[in-house]
Amino acid sequence: MGYSSLKTGADVYQAPRGTIDILPEEQFYWRHVEQQASDTCRLYGYGRIDTPAFESTGLFSRSIGEETDIVSKEMYSFEDKGGNRLTLRPEGTAPVCRAYIEHGMHNQPQPVKLYYLAPIFRYERPQAGRYRQHHQFGYEAIGDSDPVLDAEVIEVAWRFYEKLGLKKLKLLLNSIGCRKCRPDYLRSLKDYYGKHIDGLCKDCKVRLEQNTLRLLDCKQPQCQPLTAAAPRSADHLCPDCDEHFKLLKGYLGLLGLPFSVDHRLVRGLDYYTRTVFEIQPQTGGAQSTIGGGGRYDDLIEGLGGKPTPAVGFATGIERIILNLKKQKVSIPPLSRPQVFIAPLGERARDEAVKLAASLRQDGIGVLQAYGSRSLKAQLRQADKLGAGYAVIIGEEELANGTAVLRDMTTARQETVAMEKLSAELQSQLC
Ligand code: HAM
């Protein structure tokens, strides 16, 4: 775009629908959540991974499932100038599995534990807590089928929310079986719903043919009574899945994590096997789920890797922050520059420029006054910016090689030799 089109353009741009700007005054929430996420991950041996914002479209359609809402309606897909079909990451698990395979991580000690903090893109209908770009903290433990690992993955999520100070959460758990026992369960689900087809909503009639498991997840009132009486996956598990589920529940008990089995809990992605779980606010229901995950023992093989069991979880940072605000959890503020330099006159300004640079080199955050304003106006600005101290340099101070150090809270002032200012500030600030 040339300069002239910038000058004459009359459009007023806004952030695209369903996206938000995270302004400086909101950042302390984000930094805090991210810090707690990485601290928690460190305790359980997870290493951070960052994957590209876009991947081959096939990676997502193959892993999440063609019939899911995410793949059929919500992906931001495009063809690049080289004719490659690409998609902005609509979730984080498939890219991590792709990276696990691509980098031969099966040669490392298993399970390989990886976590990520990343923007996620889904073309959804925006509403409170639902965006077209949101951010997830997620983690994946790849390479072991032990139910202890499922329990640990759930524990990481629970302890992370606890550390953040979130309360009144509930943990919902289910097992949806494996490729051995699922077909039998799907058949009985299909039989059951087939007998009640007239009572189903329009979408469920389609689900009956295309994605039977998702019938359990329907939110339409007319489908609720039918779903409440539907066959339960937990009653159709093969002996191995049954044992896995029993052991998992036992470990969760040992860890003191309060869960309830929700026989209707399936998930919006097709790659899950055995364990599925969600964490929701006690009031609010499935629409307000703040995190979800489960086991996906067939995914890596499905993407061309060796058969590799895995389990993981992801949580939406926007929804966490929404709940932190709702619950009025206090979050530590970010530190801001504490020192404001207020020069009076041209020569003092030169001195202020040099002083600001040298204080910053000593690690002290400094705000400078710009333009030429009166002392009163400069001090007012220092106050508004929340500076703890102002350094005033006028003609007299210039002549004496000093500065006036003003405590902005008490308005107490003292004259300090310029060369002692840094040490003085450092002792006051700590
Ligand atoms: P998911 O349930 O689709 O799972 O998303 C995880 C979390 O991301 C949700 O619980 C929610 O907090 C947040 N989220 C999802 N969509 C939106 C949205 N449109 N706006 C705001 N927040 C949203 C997954 O993505 C799986 N990859 C989780 C996983 C990891 N399973 C195994 N490993």
Q: How far apart are CA 175 and CA 273, in angstroms?
A: 8
Is the CB of 316 inside a 6 Å radius of any atom of ligand 1?
yes
Which atom of ligand 1 sits closest to the CA of residue 93? 27
Q: How far apart are CA 390 and CA 340, in angstroms?
A: 5
Q: Looking at ligand 1, which residue's alpha carbon is closest to its atom 9?
A: 291
Q: Looking at ligand 1, which residue's alpha carbon is closest to its atom 33?
A: 312
What's at 395, amino acid-wise?
E
Delimit the domains of the chain by residue range: 3-181+237-326, 339-429
Is the CB of 315 inside a 6 Å radius of any atom of ligand 1?
yes
pLDDT score, position 1? 45
pLDDT score, position 210? 85
Phi, psi of 258 (to 5 degrees): -80, 120
pLDDT score, position 5? 55
Which residue among 22, 127, 319, 323 is best mutated to probe the pocket of ligand 1, counting the most ligand atoms within 8 A of its Cβ? 319
CA of 424 from ligand 1 middle (Å) equals 50
Is the CB of 270 inside a 6 Å radius of any atom of ligand 1?
no
Short-list 352, 205, 365, 269, CA closest to 71: 269
Q: Give the residue carrying structure tokens 């619950």.
A: 327
Residue 151 in tokens: 């329990």
Is the CB of 319 inside a 6 Å radius of any atom of ligand 1?
yes
Q: Looking at ligand 1, which residue's alpha carbon is closest to its atom 7?
A: 315
Is the CB of 160 inside a 6 Å radius of any atom of ligand 1?
no
CA of 120 from ligand 1 middle (Å) equals 9
Check whether the bond before 24 is cis (ω within 30° of 0): no
Q: How far apart are CA 154 and CA 162, in angstroms?
A: 12
C-beta of residue 309 within 8 angstroms of C-beta of residue 145: yes
- Angstrom CA distances, 336 to 40, 302, 388, stand at 26, 49, 10
Which atom of ligand 1 sits closest to the CA of residue 94? 27
Which atom of ligand 1 sits closest to the CA of residue 124? 19
Is the CB of 425 inside a 6 Å radius of any atom of ligand 1?
no
CA of 289 from ligand 1 middle (Å) equals 9
Q: Give the residue carrying structure tokens 């067939």.
A: 298
Is the CB of 130 inside a 6 Å radius of any atom of ligand 1?
yes
Read off the DSSP letter of residue 130. B
Is the CB of 248 inside a 6 Å radius of any atom of ligand 1?
no
Which atom of ligand 1 sits closest to the CA of residue 131? 20
Residue 70 in tokens: 């995410």
Residue 64 in tokens: 């999440």
Residue 298 in tokens: 């067939």
- Give residues with Cβ within 8 angstroms of 380, minimum separation 6: none
C-beta of residue 41 within 8 angstroms of C-beta of residue 137: no
CATH architecture, domain defined by 3-181+237-326: 2-Layer Sandwich (3.30)
Q: How far apart are CA 406 and CA 340, in angstroms?
A: 10
Which residue among 63, 73, 74, 91 is best mutated to probe the pocket of ligand 1, counting the most ligand atoms within 8 A of its Cβ? 91
C-beta of residue 334 within 8 angstroms of C-beta of residue 383: no
CA of 92 from ligand 1 middle (Å) equals 9
Which atom of ligand 1 sits closest to the CA of residue 136? 8
Q: Looking at ligand 1, which residue's alpha carbon is closest to its atom 18?
A: 130
Q: Looking at ligand 1, which residue's alpha carbon is closest to its atom 1?
A: 292
Q: Looking at ligand 1, which residue's alpha carbon is closest to its atom 30?
A: 313
CA of 343 from ligand 1 middle (Å) equals 52
Q: What pTM value is reported for the model?
A: 0.93
Q: Looking at ligand 1, which residue's alpha carbon is closest to its atom 31?
A: 293
H/E run at residue 349: helix 346-361
| 430 residues of the chain, pLDDT tens digit each | 445 555 655 689 999 999 999 999 999 999 999 999 999 999 999 999 999 999 999 999 999 999 899 999 999 999 999 999 999 999 999 999 999 999 999 999 999 999 999 999 999 999 999 999 999 999 999 999 999 999 999 999 999 999 999 999 999 999 999 999 999 999 999 999 999 998 899 989 888 988 899 899 888 889 999 999 999 999 999 999 999 999 999 999 999 999 999 999 999 899 999 999 999 999 876 678 999 999 999 999 999 999 999 999 999 999 999 999 999 999 998 888 899 999 999 999 999 999 999 999 999 999 998 998 999 999 999 999 999 999 999 999 999 999 999 999 999 999 999 999 999 999 998 7
Q: Looking at ligand 1, which residue's alpha carbon is closest to its atom 22?
A: 316
Q: Looking at ligand 1, which residue's alpha carbon is closest to its atom 16?
A: 130
CB atoms within 10 A of CB 21: 7
Domain 339-429 class, CATH top level: alpha beta
